[in-house]
Structure 1
Amino acid sequence: MSGYLTTHVLDTARGVPAEGIKIALYRVSGNSHRKIAETVTNDDGRTDSPILPVGDFTTGTYELIFFCGDYLEATGQATGETKFLSEIPIRFGMDDADAHYHVPLLLSPFGYSTYRGS
């Protein structure tokens, strides 16, 4: 297998990469979630290396959780104890053992979107 997974976060409200967002990756099987990686976005909004590199890649169902509450507060886009967006889970499947999967997050204080990138 030569597949791998990457991600990045873009702050669409400010038009910049989102630096300092913690991201956790879970393998999902039925109702079971097993954390397999954790990282933080760099100054380009990306991770320094694939969040699921070639040697660790297997097909299946996964979930990325983007912990964006602290970032939104630090950038002045969210205030208060309870934020509209604090953690964003994205569940997706990967079925091609040799593919590069890229799952970015486009973030604003009150909404987000994702897609399969390249």
Structure 2
Amino acid sequence: MSGYLTTHVLDTARGCPASGLRIALARVETGGREWLAEMVTNDDGRTDGAILPENRFKPGSYELVFHAGDYLRATGQVTGPLFLDEVPIRFGMEKGHYHVPLLLSPYGYSTYRGS
């Protein structure tokens, strides 16, 4: 069995999915990152498909970068200096379905391995 990766973002300050938030995915390798994908969340706060589909999956270290600052400004939650701008989450994957959501507010976030 191979693997794949999905994600979504919930805006905990407003109590809704984070629509229109840009997310980038990189494979982390010795010597740097290889950027694999960039997507924008839909009205449900999810990407329209797996951000890393099964046919591109290989075990290793990955990093999701959530462009939270752009989203927080666009939704009017931040008007001055950003406390959170880019939110990087680095994690390892071996096989199976990995779901890495982001729970976001202007001054904090959390994540976990979902299902």
Under a length normalisation based on structure 2, what TM-score does the superposition of the two structures give? 0.96
The reply on whether 1:102 has 2:78 as its aligned counterpart is no
Query: Residue 18 of structure 2 aligns with which residue?
Result: 18
The reply on whether 1:76 has 2:76 as its aligned counterpart is yes
Dislocated runs of 4+, deviation >6 Å = none
Listed as ranges, the matches of 1:1-118 within 5 Å are 1-80=1-80, 82-96=81-95, 99-118=96-115
- Equivalent pairs: percent with the same residue? 70
Contact 2:104 2:110 in 1 (8 A): yes
Residues of 2 paired with 1:59 and 1:92: CA distance?
A: 11
**What 5-or-longer segments of structure 1 have no aligned partner?**
none
* Offset at residue 37 of structure 1 (A): 0.6
Residues of 2 paired with 1:76 and 1:4: CA distance?
A: 34
**What 5-or-longer segments of structure 2 have no aligned partner?**
none
Residues of 2 paired with 1:31 and 1:77: CA distance?
A: 37
Task: Render the CA deviation track for 1:15-50: whole Å, top value 9, x for unaligned.
Answer: 100000110000001341110111000000000000
